[in-house]
């Protein structure tokens, strides 16, 4: 039988304890064990960025991390980004306004990546944003709406302080 371990991970603010196979990656754990299907899997080899989540606040490709490695850590997935009352995160709001998504498949990873980037870079240029999301592939939008959204979200977040 496959090797299993019990892990406890804080996911979107809630501690979750589960038994997982040691070979299960974090993306599959979130999607299939916890049924948090907002995190998407586009390549399973660390290039597309669709699976990006925050682990202890840092953007991480959940297809490249084992679920057991998340034991004792805090994970934020796209489901945990909006406020508890449903108010969208400024990055989500800006994606909506600037047509930063079409099919929505890259979107969770994009939104998480942009949110993480803006936390450390509150006043980016367009080139900064393009470079920051160059590890996230979008086949639909041509990136322009995403870039516009990131710049607008940066502005909003600066104003909100």
Partner 1 sequence: MVRYTGAEVQRMEDPRLLTGHGRYVDDIHLPGMLHGAFLRSSHAHARIRSIDTSAALALPGVHAVFTQADLAVPDVAQSMNQLYPAPVIHQDITQHPMATDEVCYVGQTVALVAADSRAIAEDALVLIDVDYEPLPAVVDCRTALADDAPMAHIGSENNMAGQLKSAFGDIDGAFAKADHVFTGSFMQHRGGCHSMETRGVLARDEPYGEGLTIWSSTQCPYLVRRALATHLGEPEDRVRIIAPDVGGGFGPKAGFYPEEIVIPVAARQLGRPLKWIEDRREHFTATTGQRDQQWDLEVACDKDGKMLGLRGVVIHENGAYMPYGALLPFTSVTPLPGSYAIPALDVRLDIAFTNTTPTTPVRGAGRPYGIYAVERMVETIARELQIDPAEVRRRNFVRADQMPYETGAKLRDGMPVRYDSGDYHACQEKALELADYAGFKARQDAARTQGRYLGIGVSACIEDTGVGPYEGTTVKIEPSGKIMVRTGAASQGQGHHTMIAQIVSDQLGVQPEDIMFEAADTGKFPQGVGTIGSRVTANVGPSSFDAAGQVRETVLKLAAETLEAAEQDLELEDGEVRVAGAPDLKVTLGELALKLAPMSGGKIPAGFSPSLEATSYLGSSGSPVASGSNVAEVEVDIGTGEVRVLRYSVAHDCGNMINPMMVDGQIIGGVVHGIGNALFERMIYDEQGQPLTTNYGEYLLPLASEMPHIDIVHQETPSPLNPLGVKGAGEGGTIPAAPAIVAAIENALADFGVVIDYYPVDPQYLTELIDAAGAQAAE
In this chain, which of 95, 116, 118, 153 binds partner 1, going by CB under 8 A?
Answer: 95
Q: How many CB atoms lie within 10 A of CB 29?
A: 26
* CB-based contacts of 42-47 (< 8 A; 24+ apart in sequence): 42/105, 42/106, 42/109, 42/137, 43/137, 47/135, 47/137
Query: Measured from the CB atom, is 6 or 48 closer to ligand FES?
Result: 48
Binding mask 22-61 for partner 1 (x = CB under 8 A): -xx------xx--xxxxxxxxxxx-xx-x-----------
Does 3 interact with partner 1 (rule: CB under 8 A)? Answer: no
> Is residue 41 part of the contact set for ligand FES (CB under 6 A)?
yes
- Picking from 38, 43, 44, 10, the residue whose alpha carbon sits closest to that of residue 24 is 44
Nearest to 107 by CA among 120, 96, 119, 122: 96
51 binds, among ligand FES, partner 1, none (CB under 5 to 8 A by kind): ligand FES
CA distance 144 to 39: 22
Tokens matching residue 28 = 């599959």
Site string for ligand FES, 54-93 (x = CB under 6 A): -------x-x------------------------------
Planar angle of CA 47, 49, 51, nearest 5 degrees: 120
> Is 87 a residue that touches partner 1 (CB under 8 A)?
no
Smallest gap from residue 5 Cβ to ligand FES (A): 22
Give contact residues for partner 1 (rule: CB under 8 A): 1-2, 21, 23-24, 31-32, 35-45, 47-48, 50, 77-79, 81-82, 88, 92, 95-97, 99, 101-108, 111, 126, 129-131, 133-134, 136-147
């Amino acid at each position: 039988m496959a090797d299993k371990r019990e892990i406890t991970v804080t996911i979107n603010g809630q501690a979750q304890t589960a038994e997982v196979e040691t070979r299960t990656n974090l993306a599959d754990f979130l999607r299939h064990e916890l049924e948090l299907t907002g995190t998407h899997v586009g390549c399973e080899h660390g290039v597309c960025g669709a699976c990006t989540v925050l682990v202890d606040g840092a953007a991480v490709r959940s297809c490249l991390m084992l679920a057991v490695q998340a034991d004792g850590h805090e994970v934020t997935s796209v489901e945990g980004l909006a406020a508890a009352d449903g108010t969208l995160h400024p990055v989500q709001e800006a994606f909506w306004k600037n047509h930063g998504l079409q099919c929505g498949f890259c979107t969770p990873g994009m939104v998480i990546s942009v949110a993480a980037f803006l936390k450390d870079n509150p006043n980016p240029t367009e080139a900064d944003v393009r470079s920051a999301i160059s590890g996230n592939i979008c086949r639909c939008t041509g990136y322009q709406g995403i870039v516009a959204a990131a710049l607008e979200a940066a502005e909003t977040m600066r104003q909100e302080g």
